[in-house]
Structure 1
Amino acid sequence: MDVDEFWFLIEQSARETTSKETRLEWLHEQMVQRPAKEIVDFNAWMLTARRKIDTRLMWGAVRALYLDGSDDGFWYFQMWLVGLGRETFERVAREPDALVDVPAVRRLVVMARNRQTWTNDDWPTFESLDYVAMKAWEQATGKGYEELAEVLRSRGFESFAMPNPTDEAWELDNAEESARRLPRINRYMRELYDRRP
């Protein structure tokens, strides 16, 4: 499975379904029909995508937009961003400040500003997307997670259970530093919250 096929499956799963749960079911059905090598490939591409956005700058963007920002919240956000598709993902991976331009993000920010409750499908997290390959691997091969992890390690991939950013450290909750590093997000949030209801 090449990177184009990986993104095709991610995007097709969104087109074919109407909820996170049915999306996971659709992806699982697609994956269990494939050879074990392709299941590993899918997991490897997922890990590759996550590496691109597992940065403090992206984490700061999530926090500045009030989309959560806890350790596990940011971890699950990464999967949600992958789920938005290749074009959006690549644009935001290159420039985390562009997260403010993503329609799904703006919708959630405005909902939060207006004190509207997010449904499970609204939340900018998608933890279970991380388990698609593992579950398909177990069903297709009869082997467990450790065997999958070993194959991934042989390809140079280490699995983490929490964010592991390697970019420059900075205080994510420092308003001045956040405004300097993420000017568009901070400007948008100031304008949004300065408006009267």
Structure 2
Amino acid sequence: MDQERFWGIIVRACRSDAERAEQWDQALQAELEKLEPDEIIEWDHLFDRLAAEAYTIGLWGAAYAINGGASDDGFYDFRCWLIGMGRRVYEAALADPDSLADAAIPGIDAEAEIYAAAHSAWMAVTGRPDTAPYPARNERAELRGEAWDFDDDEEVRRRLPRLAAIYLG
């Protein structure tokens, strides 16, 4: 599974529409069910790798600002949302988390629970039950970046000025 094909599936399923994020999992599962079982697993492993690449302090700070907080699970859902927003938004956010000021919609949580779509599609395509062994996901990534206080509004304004202007007022 190459990145072009991966992102094409994301575009067809998610369409970068933040207001529909709660429906992305179903649309993504439907797209993945068009693949062979091995391709679904390859897609899922690439998804995991992209989520791991986005496991940075800067993006966690952005998630915290946008969503008004972000637990570890909430930050994972945020990274799923980020992937669902498409390659352009994802790559821009990796380079500059403050670029999410152009993508996030105030009042809408930037979270998407699309992480189970591949497993659900794999079960549907293979006919295996939920309890059947599923090829292991990649190992958990290490958080990268210098720690800072997401609750310190001045620090948020310094590090994420555009997001702070939108979400901190």
Residues in 2 aligned to 1:20 and 1:64: alpha-carbon distance in whole angstroms: 18
Identity of matched residues, %: 30
In the TM superposition, 1:146-157 aligns within 5 A as: 146-149=133-136, 152=137, 157=138
State the SS of the aligned residue for 2:88. helix
- The answer for unaligned runs of 5 or more in structure 1 is 112-121
Work out whether 1:3 is the aligned partner of 2:3.
yes
- The answer for unaligned runs of 5 or more in structure 2 is none
TM score, norm. by length of structure 1: 0.71
Residues in 2 aligned to 1:133 and 1:174: alpha-carbon distance in whole angstroms: 38
Work out whether 1:126 is the aligned partner of 2:127.
no
Contact 2:66-2:109 within 8 A present in 1 as well:
no
Over 3 Å counting, the alpha-carbon distance change for 1:22 and 1:179 in structure 2 is closer
State the SS of the aligned residue for 1:124. coil
Residues in 2 aligned to 1:3 and 1:27: alpha-carbon distance in whole angstroms: 16
* Structure whose residues are more often helix by fraction: 1
Cα offset for 1:2?
Answer: 1.1
Residues in 2 aligned to 1:94 and 1:179: alpha-carbon distance in whole angstroms: 18
Structure 1 counterpart of 2:139: 158
Residues in 1 aligned to 2:54 and 2:25: alpha-carbon distance in whole angstroms: 22
Structure 2 counterpart of 1:51: 52
Over 3 Å counting, the alpha-carbon distance change for 1:179 and 1:145 in structure 2 is farther
Residues in 1 aligned to 2:48 and 2:100: alpha-carbon distance in whole angstroms: 20
Residues in 1 aligned to 2:13 and 2:96: alpha-carbon distance in whole angstroms: 25
TM score, norm. by length of structure 2: 0.81
Work out whether 1:185 is the aligned partner of 2:163.
yes
Residues in 2 aligned to 1:25 and 1:138: alpha-carbon distance in whole angstroms: 14
Equivalent of residue 176 in structure 1, options 154, 157, 161: 154
Cα offset for 1:6?
Answer: 0.8
